[in-house]
Structure 1
């Protein structure tokens, strides 16, 4: 029964993240003329999962959301950018959360995740175009990463603080 609750909860989080991902893909770019800058609201679900269930589950949610989102509305290149950014971002957030959760805020962890998400995407871009000059775009993406990462962190913190009052959420870490 415990595993079924956890599986249902994970499925729900993947579904929510996928819906957010698809809706956000339909929205116009945040800054016209500056490609690649998105809010990344679906990442708040992975960060929430990291706080509530753990790192493996956060990675699983990001991976499933990225695969399903690419099948439903993306392309192979969008999949490559999303998976590279998502993996690097989630790995950094997992490491920071496990090592420094007492001294780092959720929004600080989120900002670091957003910055590394952009670095992962630029790595793929530089490999695709075979030119490391794409890293000249890094300062623009770092500023946007700090802003969007802060917003996602604050949003996730708000969600987490309200959802931890729910009995199911409190018991999820014990389901392992």
Structure 2
């Protein structure tokens, strides 16, 4: 792996961790158990689009592990990790095989839905209670909005990053 690429990916892991931590301090208008904006998923989507699935998986796993260690919520690691991994798999499939059908916003919504599904499955296994699936339709509705928001921010950020990364690579080739 090139040094420059490793530095960029390390920065993206750091940004994901910061977004994860900052999100905990954003007050939601109503408390909804399990509902979050999913700001760190902006980073996952950006890494997927800019660097591919493998790097997206590495960044997602590192972000989840380090965030859990920093926040001290190691018990929530299984939820964030299962959500991040299934979300990445679904977004990758759609991005690489159906990208003419779905925009980044659509891909993000699919990722948000997969994320919530994985977390509900993990919760039902851990709690040994299938009744938690009754909560799934409600969380799926919320994930439409959070996925839309994350997709919009990812789309805007991608435009800026892709231009700047190309400029950096062009400047490097002339020096």
By the TM > 0.5 criterion, same fold?
yes
> C-alpha offsets along residues 79-134 of structure 1, whole Å, 9 cap, x if unaligned?
01000111110110011101011221111110000001000000111011111110
SS at match of 1:166: helix
Please name the residue that 1:21 is paired with: 20
Partner of 2:10: 11
| Structure 1: unaligned runs, 5 residues or longer | 172-176
Equivalent-residue separation in structure 2 for 1:119 and 1:106 (angstroms):
20
Give, in whole Å, the separation in 2 of the partners of 1:139 and 1:154: 23
Measure, in 1, the Cα distance between the counterparts of 2:58 and 2:29: 28
Q: Note the 1:26-37 alignment, pairs <5 A.
A: 26-29=25-28, 31-32=30-31, 34-37=32-35
Q: 1:40 to 1:134 in 2, by over 3 A?
A: same
Matched, 1:38 2:27: no
State the TM-score, normalized to the length of structure 1.
Answer: 0.90
**Residue of structure 2 equivalent to 1:152:** 150
Matched, 1:141 2:134: no
- Which deviates the most, 40-49 or 161-170? 161-170
- Runs of 4 or more off by more than 6 Å in structure 1? none
- Report the alpha carbon displacement of residue 29 of structure 1 after superposing the two structures with TM: 4.4
Find the counterpart in structure 1 of residue 130 from structure 2.
132
What TM-score, normalized by structure 2, do the two folds share?
A: 0.91
Deviation at 1:153, TM superposition (A): 0.5
Query: SS of 1:101's equivalent?
Result: coil
What is the CA distance between 1:76 and its match in structure 2? Answer: 3.0
Residues in 2 aligned to 1:130 and 1:98: alpha-carbon distance in whole angstroms:
35
In 2, Cα distance between equivalents of 1:160 and 1:77: 32
| Counterpart-to-counterpart distance in 1, 2:126 and 2:28 | 22
Where does residue 164 of structure 1 map in the other structure? 162
Q: Is the 8 A contact 1:29 1:37 kept in 2?
A: no
